[in-house]
Amino acid sequence: MEGPAGRIEAHAYDPGRKKRGIALVAHPHPLYGGTMENKVVQTLAKSFFELGYLAVRFNFRGVGKSAGSYDEGRGETEDALALLDFLKKREGDLPIALSGFSFGGYVQARVAKFADPERIALVAPAVGKYDMPEVKQGTLLIHGEEDDVIPLSRLFEWARPQGHAVVVLPGAGHFFHGRLTQIRQIVTDTFRD
């Protein structure tokens, strides 16, 4: 589809039945190799697909076949909102779920201010790296105990004043090597109802 900066490349997992909602999944930082093919992003998309959502992952500006260039979260937020608008027009006014990993978590927290999502799942969101907005109660926060990119202490500093619970995976680093099945289980268990 066409976004504010041109083409937005996306991939959808379509349950092919009555959809529970639309889940939009955002990837890590584009200047550090982040793409919609990231294994955590794919895990999140497959988790929401398993729950009956039309799960859509997309490439930020300047990544893959998406037009434009990195815009420090501003343009990426605009693109996500444009993609959500397109999907809502195509699919109907279904509930929205937002999910993102690292930089994608930061972008989705920004998107949530405008999109009124039913559900939010953020994995190792980039708190401390960007001015991370507050998110609504019930947001699922997943973080690795040994994350050396976004230290767990930074997430706690951000989450504590908002009263959010944090799911900590003991021994896991930022990229969750060997922990994807666990992430999938946490997401599907949390949002199954």
């926060």: which residue's tokens?
141
Instruction: List pLDDT tens digits, range 6-23.
Output: 999 999 999 987 899 999
Report the pLDDT value the prediction gives residue 87, as an integer from 0 to 100: 97
Mean pLDDT of the chain: 97
CATH number of domain containing 19:
3.40.50.1820
Contact 28, 42 (CB under 8 A): no
Report the pLDDT value the prediction gives residue 193, as an integer from 0 to 100: 81
Whole-angstrom Cα distance, residue 182 to residue 128?
A: 25
Q: Which residues of 29-41 are buried (b: 16+ CB within 10 A; e: fewer)?
A: bbeeebbbebebb
* 3-state SS, residue 116: coil
Whole-angstrom Cα distance, residue 104 to residue 29?
A: 7
Per the document, the length of the chain is 193
Q: Which domain holds residue 142?
A: 2-191
């083409």: which residue's tokens?
7
What's the count of helices (H) and strands (E) in the chain, helices before strands? 5, 9
Instruction: List pLDDT tens digits, range 80-139.
Output: 999 999 999 999 989 999 999 999 999 999 999 999 999 999 999 999 999 999 999 999
Whole-angstrom Cα distance, residue 130 to residue 157?
A: 14
Number of domains in the chain: 1
Give me the phi and psi of 133, to 5 degrees please.
Answer: -70, 160
Contact 188, 52 (CB under 8 A): no
Whole-angstrom Cα distance, residue 55 to residue 40?
A: 14
